[in-house]
Amino acid sequence: MLQKNEIYEALVTDYTAEGQGVAHVDGCAVFLPNAIAGERVRLRIEKVGKTWASGKIVEILERSPHRVNRECPVAKLCGGCDFWHMDYAEETRLKAERVKGCLNRLAGENLEEVPILAAPDCHGYRNKAQYPVASKKGRAYAGFFRAGTHDVVENKRCRILPEETDRVKDAVMDYVNQYRVSVYDEATHTGLLRHIYVRRGAVSGEILVCLVVNGRKLPRAEALVERLKKISGFTTLVLSVNTKKGNAVLGDEFITLCGPGYIQDTLCGLTFRLSPRSFYQVNHYQAQRLYRAAMEQAGITKADTVLDLYCGVGTITLAMASAAGKVIGVEVIPQAVEDARENAARNGIQNAEFFCGDAGQAALALEGQGVRPDVITVDPPRKGLSANAIQAISRMNPRRLVYISCDPATLARDVALLKEKGFRLQSAQAADLFPRCAHVESIAVLSR
Ligand code: SAH
């Protein structure tokens, strides 16, 4: 049994899904942040669970050639990124291994290698930021949560965000401090400003600023707008009303204070309207590569009907429309569906139809109406496909299923379930949409 606060020596052999190193001491797995596979370390045990423990490195005895000096000064504290202590080659290796490991272990595959679409640049790629706001000794500040806590770590310049986004944060905080706008306090559920949410179109440069507030009004809003107008690309200011306790960032009501309430961006040659509530991939360059890879592998012809489940604002649906006979998108967030319909119109696309609802239920309903898509694409949130979705897909019997996933573990679980329904995995590929962070995206192509 490992002892808390004791020091042990161990070899780091692997990584967790969250990007921590894994070492084994006396047969017990020990999770170590900031560790790199291949390193021999002295570690201090901090927590002992039933089948695992966690600890911290106290000394690196054998250093990995992949270890680098952290470019971000707050990387060790900030819960935003996970990998500034290693080079990008090791990061992409471990991500590809993770996708492969999940498919082999959980879906009974026997893949030797899963290729990864690596990002050409790890800097400034995120088109969206949600900064929590805090205050100390009468001064308000914004940053990102420390891993596993709600302590806000201040960061002057986040390496994975474009400069304009940080400038918006600075302008908002400047205004907050000058006009003594109150900052939300979770413990007492008082105070106004909770989060600063910024989305910037990578191609258009248009910026949406959305302040999440515990209330419905912003004092001296015109003074804030004046500051924001000095930032190139600023397009719209929106309030998101969130008066609830809990961790959900956005509220359900949005109040536009300035501009149209949404921004536009271009993706895969199409223009998209993006409301604050709508999902939009955060890494524009890599998202385009991911969608192009998905489209190539979908092998769509003009005779095909394509069903795109979890379609968001219709990015994939509309990108496939010109190659297909007909495309149908399904999405649960009403604002995103409105965006998707508007986006079809904006791009002059007439063979697209969108439904608002749960993907599984809507797919079963479409199946019941006799809809038989030739190709189905799915891009679910981390929890993966529902039982309904799997059943509907199976009954619709598409020629091909293209599964885009942001969690290889649920992807592998669903591949296993689809295999029980007679599908076979044809190819799998990882894509790095989140450089320096532990999340990894992947595409799996299945057919019967
Ligand atoms: N394909 C889109 C969106 C992918 S993100 C793109 O690449 O931009 C996943 C989407 O699934 C989000 O838009 C989310 O709102 C939606 N979603 C989540 N749960 C859902 C459900 N049960 N049914 C339908 N859509 C859902």
Ligand 1 mutation target, pool 279, 337, 356, most atoms within 8 A of CB: 279
CB atoms within 10 A of CB 177: 15
The atom of ligand 1 lying closest to the CA of 281 is 8
Condensed to tens digits (0 to 9), the pLDDT of residues 415-440 reads 999 999 999 999 999 999 999 999 99
- DSSP-assigned beta bridge partners for residue 40: 11, 62
Ligand 1 mutation target, pool 250, 281, 311, most atoms within 8 A of CB: 311
Contact 196, 209 (CB under 8 A): yes
Distance between terminal CA atoms of the chain?
A: 49
pTM: 0.96
**What is the distance in A from the centroid of ligand 1 to the CA of 379?**
7
The atom of ligand 1 lying closest to the CA of 330 is 24
Q: Which of 158, 311, 406, 437 is catalytic?
A: 406
Percent of the chain's residues with pLDDT above 90? 99
Of 417, 405, 416, nearest in space to 104 by CA = 416
357: left (phi over 0), alpha (psi -120 to 50) or beta: left
How far is it, in rounded angstroms, from Cα 16 to Cα 220?
A: 47
**What is the distance in A from the centroid of ligand 1 to the CA of 7?**
45
Q: Which residues, 6+ apart, have CB-to-CB distance to 337 below 8 Å?
A: 329, 331, 354, 355, 356
**What is the distance in A from the centroid of ligand 1 to the CA of 377?**
12
Token pair 């379930």: residue: 417
Q: Measure the CA dihedral 221/226/232/237, to 10°.
A: 20
Ligand 1 mutation target, pool 291, 316, 331, most atoms within 8 A of CB: 331
* Residue 292 pLDDT grade (very low, low, confident, very high; cuts 50, 70, 90): very high
Q: Which residues, 6+ apart, have CB-to-CB distance to 146 below 8 Å?
A: 77, 78, 79, 152, 153
Told to judge if 258 belongs to the known catalytic residues of this protein, a careful annotator would answer no
Of 87, 95, 108, 30, nearest in space to 417 by CA = 108
Provide the mean pLDDT of the chain. Answer: 97
Residues lining ligand 1, Cβ inside 6 A: 279-281, 310-312, 315-316, 330-333, 336, 358-359, 379, 381
Please spell the DSSP secondary structure of 122-175, one letter per residue: -SS-BSEEEEEEEEETTEEEEEEEBTTS-PEEE-SS-TTS-HHHHHHHHHHHHH
Predicted local distance difference test score (pLDDT) of residue 138:
92
Residue having the nearest C-alpha atom to atom 10 of ligand 1: 310
**What is the distance in A from the centroid of ligand 1 to the CA of 201?**
19
Predicted local distance difference test score (pLDDT) of residue 385:
98
pLDDT above 90 for 1: no
Which segments of 221-262 are extended strands (E)? Answer: 234-241, 253-258
Predicted local distance difference test score (pLDDT) of residue 395:
98
Condensed to tens digits (0 to 9), the pLDDT of residues 364-415 reads 999 999 999 999 999 999 999 999 999 999 999 999 999 999 999 999 999 9
Contact 290, 433 (CB under 8 A): yes
The rounded radius of gyration (Å) of the Cα atoms in the chain is 23
